[in-house]
Structure 1
Amino acid sequence: MPLRLLKYGLSRDYPVSGDIPATPELKPAYDVVIIGGGGHGLSCAHHLAKYHGIRSVAVLEKGYLAGGNTARNTTTIRSNYITAEGIAFYKEGVELFERLSQELDFNVMFSQRGQLTLAHTEATMRSFHMRAEMGKHLGTRTEVVDQKGVEELCPLLNMDYGGPLEILGGLWHADGGTARHDAVAWGYAAQASRRGVEIHQRTEVQGFEVVGDRVQAVKTNRGRVACGQVLIATGGMNYDVALMAGVELPIRCYPLQAMVTQPLKPWLDTLVSSVSLHTYLVQSSRGEVVIGGGSDPYQLYSTRSTLDMKEHLAEGAVHLFPFLQGVRLLRQWAGITDMTPDYSPIMGASPLANLWLDCGWGTWGFKATPVAGKRMAQTIAEGRVPDILKPFALERFETFRLLNEMGATAASH
């Protein structure tokens, strides 16, 4: 067997079939143009082709496949939100992740090990009770645990008994988990490509041809493309891309940083986050401890890392797990979060009849990848917004029907 493998590897004529074809020439027109080759855009393309039979689809990506926020997150998946609308939406997302490897015929390394959010104050405990009851009412596995429960779930935690950051309890979300972010994107891209979707990397959108209330064409650095429908799903660049079409979004962008340690033997079985410390940790399948926190406090279009955030995250991690002191850091990175005033995304229609929005994801875009793609594909194919997306409409900022998810992040902003 080893000899056969060696001969196969050294052969010049063995069959090679790439999952994602090379970037083709742009056609003059497509039924659907998706701007953004990250998880959301690729997921939408997959669902359009597989479930709605729409295969004249071009995904335009300025850089390389899934090189934006899809590659710059900490892979957390959960549905323990605050509002009924948010919980219902992310619950469907978790359910789709549970069977995503089968859906894509690609191992996305989904690991459902639960998330434990810590409470250091009585006020936080009261808010956890509210979130737990709302989650139970809508069918998620979310409950409040006391100090003993926290110790049983994560025995290596520093409980800080009698100290200023004593852990009083926590919010246990058994549905929480992680998945491999690049595997999710590649899986969607491969399936979409097999069904005729074209993925155009290094293709920058430079403007739109708008006639009346419709987008007639998308202008790129590789030429003009006429379109039937257009979806904007560009992560941190959503505001700028929408503005090219004359649509101004209520979005402001902030860097969000994270880092990983050297690989360690497995010891952290759950996701652990602390609202008071603005820090969360999860151990990857390779043994690295992924550490993240809140967004930077200033608006900036940048993916650079900073020393002060590194120090802040390290301080929080060492407080929670003192034995991490001295562990070496391997990498630090940042993404660009597009934040809305109510910390909830914008999905659905725009002021233009054939321009659709998948924007304002802030720090929770990755966990919504399957459900956002599924529901935006349904929206584009049917020409109407499904009920589950209606609460996230852009017009809510004019009617003041806001969805306040500000306290639902793993580490508050």
Structure 2
Amino acid sequence: MSVHDAGPPEHPDRLWNSPEPAASYDVVIVGGGGHGLATAYYLARDHGISNVAVLERGWLAGGNMARNTTIIRSNYLLEESAGIYEHALKLWEGLEEDLGYPILFSQRGVLNLAHSLQDVRESVRRVNANRLNGVDAEWLEPEEVRRVCPIVDVSPGVRYPVLGATYQPRAGIARHDNVAWGFARAAAAMGVDLIEHCEVTGIDVAGGRVRAVRTTRGRIAAGRVAMCAAGHSSVVARMAGLDLPVQSHPLQALVSELLEPVHPTVVMSNAVHVYVSQAHKGELVMGAGIDACNSYRQRGAFHVIERQMAAALELFPVFARAHVLRTWGGVVDVTPDASPVVGLTPVEDLYVNCGWGTGGFKATPGVGWCYAHTIAHGEPHPLTAPFSLERFTTGALVDEHGAAAVAH
């Protein structure tokens, strides 16, 4: 256990304490989103390392964790990707019991629609690859699609006819805030310090090894530093002299007004590029593809939102009279091969977890588990070993462009 207070929160209306930063920690995690909190939790639970600080420049889980569309699935094409996402999905299936906190994980299934013969060929290939990798997957004909989701327009005369779909029954959604709160509460109970409003402004490196982080709340010595800064990973890494192969783009989403339950599953389409689910409270949650521009903005643009709504109406004419309640943008970090970077860096005791692009939320427990192992043992976990930084010099890329279906 940590030398810090591991008891219940000082204030009964809080799930965790907000301590002042200590002078030093065994591990400092930069980024208090889902990945950072999950990593801290598994470090304490599985490896007995609880002298850990999670530093967040704003409030916990106020970045991409609060701005995603909460889709969880593991039906990726490549073996390496399927491995980490399937591991995550298995953890999702027991996470509520594990954390002792309601995360509202709903395994309502995910449909990936096919609108052309090429879509059909690629989709069937992915279903076969999934089955070979032990991932549940089915190919559905149009009438079967209609039975799973009656409100999808499968009429043959529409502009984007539905020729079928892949279907993963175990996939679904979860309540993003609850996931973050569950991990934060459990990590804090084991002695992890969760420090909000603490921006990292520098990383001290001496003799090829990380020594400390400099923050707006003072210098904090660190035995190991783990970066979990998502769209700002390249900014943080540059403080240690590293140039990551990552670009940051806005990713926009929106929710409708509250509606009665009408949408029983998650529907995704690459051709019209939209993905739609219905949240637990009743609002429709819709996502688009990433903006072409590089930016750190966390707001939507009208032309993207307009295309997003038009795409949704191509598939769901029943939503024509629904009203948009609010829109927002997240900042996603994208690598050249559309796969993440997890593991060691050229700086000793400095670790990196970034490049998840549009798939970070669904990986949360899986990458937290594997990243904690990497930090604790100083070597990659087998599931994340293919996603090392070195692959961009060796050429052993994990190219998921298009294979991951639609962005989400």
TM-score normalised by length of structure 2 = 0.96
Q: Report Cα offsets for 1:116-157 as digits up to 9, x if no partner.
A: 010000001101111101110111111211112112111221
CA separation of 1:44/1:338 partners in 2, compared to 1, >3 Å: closer, same or farther? same
CA distance in 2, matches of 1:225, 1:148: 60
Q: Find the partner of 1:313 among 308, 316, 325.
A: 308
Matches within 5 A, 1:107-126: 107-126=102-121
Q: Find the partner of 2:221 among 222, 226, 250.
A: 226
Give the structure 1 partner of residue 361 of structure 2: 366
Give the structure 1 partner of residue 335 of structure 2: 340
Q: Find the partner of 1:38 among 24, 30, 33.
A: 33
Runs of 4+ in 1 over 4 A off after TM superposition: none
Local SS of the residue matching 2:210: strand
CA distance in 2, matches of 1:218, 1:18: 31
Q: Does 1:356 align with 2:358?
A: no
Q: 159-168 or 318-327: which moved more?
A: 159-168
Q: Does 1:239 align with 2:234?
A: yes
Contact 2:112 2:268 in 1 (8 A): yes
Matches within 5 A, 1:171-190: 171-190=166-185
Give the structure 2 partner of residue 6 of structure 1: none
CA distance in 1, matches of 2:403, 2:238: 29
Q: Please state how far the C-alpha of 1:23 moved relative to its aligned partner.
A: 2.3
Local SS of the residue matching 2:81: helix
Q: Report Cα offsets for 1:227-277 as digits up to 9, x if no partner.
A: 111100011100100011011100001100000111111111110011100
Matches within 5 A, 1:11-410: 17-410=12-405
Q: Which amino acid is the alignment partner of residue 270 of structure 2?
A: V
Q: Which amino acid is the alignment partner of residue 80 of structure 2?
A: E
Q: Report Cα offsets for 1:177-216 as digits up to 9, x if no partner.
A: 1001010111000011011100110001010110121111
Local SS of the residue matching 2:402: helix
Q: Please state how far the C-alpha of 1:18 moved relative to its aligned partner.
A: 4.3
Q: Which amino acid is the alignment partner of residue 198 of structure 1?
A: D
Q: Please state how far the C-alpha of 1:411 moved relative to its aligned partner.
A: 2.3
CA distance in 2, matches of 1:295, 1:61: 25
CA distance in 2, matches of 1:141, 1:25: 46
Taking every aligned residue pair, what percent have the same amino acid on both sides?
43
Contact 1:75 1:179 in 2 (8 A): yes
Q: Which amino acid is the alignment partner of residue 307 of structure 1?
A: F
Aligned residues: 399
CA distance in 2, matches of 1:409, 1:85: 12
CA separation of 1:349/1:395 partners in 2, compared to 1, >3 Å: closer, same or farther? same
Contact 2:27 2:222 in 1 (8 A): yes
Local SS of the residue matching 2:276: strand
Q: Please state how far the C-alpha of 1:104 moved relative to its aligned partner.
A: 0.6
Q: Greater Rg, structure 1 or structure 2?
A: 1
Contact 1:19 1:190 in 2 (8 A): no
Structure 1 runs not aligned, ≥5 long:
1-14
Q: Report Cα offsets for 1:269-308 as digits up to 9, x if no partner.
A: 1100111000110001111010112011111110111111
TM-score normalised by length of structure 1 = 0.95
Contact 2:151 2:318 in 1 (8 A): no
Q: Which amino acid is the alignment partner of residue 342 of structure 1?
A: D
CA distance in 1, matches of 2:194, 2:158: 54
CA distance in 2, matches of 1:210, 1:349: 15
Q: Please state how far the C-alpha of 1:163 moved relative to its aligned partner.
A: 3.4
Q: Please state how far the C-alpha of 1:21 moved relative to its aligned partner.
A: 3.5
CA distance in 1, matches of 2:87, 2:64: 21
Q: Please state how far the C-alpha of 1:394 moved relative to its aligned partner.
A: 0.5
CA distance in 2, matches of 1:153, 1:117: 12
Contact 2:77 2:404 in 1 (8 A): no
Local SS of the residue matching 1:319: helix
Give the structure 2 partner of residue 411 of structure 1: 406
Contact 1:143 1:172 in 2 (8 A): yes
Q: Please state how far the C-alpha of 1:353 moved relative to its aligned partner.
A: 1.3
Q: Report Cα offsets for 1:303-360 as digits up to 9, x if no partner.
A: 1111111111110111111121121111101100000011100000111110011101
Contact 1:111 1:177 in 2 (8 A): yes
Local SS of the residue matching 2:130: helix
Local SS of the residue matching 2:258: coil
CA separation of 1:19/1:412 partners in 2, compared to 1, >3 Å: closer, same or farther? closer
Structure 2 runs not aligned, ≥5 long:
1-9
CA distance in 2, matches of 1:173, 1:406: 20
CA distance in 2, matches of 1:194, 1:156: 44
Contact 1:80 1:408 in 2 (8 A): no
Give the structure 1 partner of residue 4 of structure 2: none
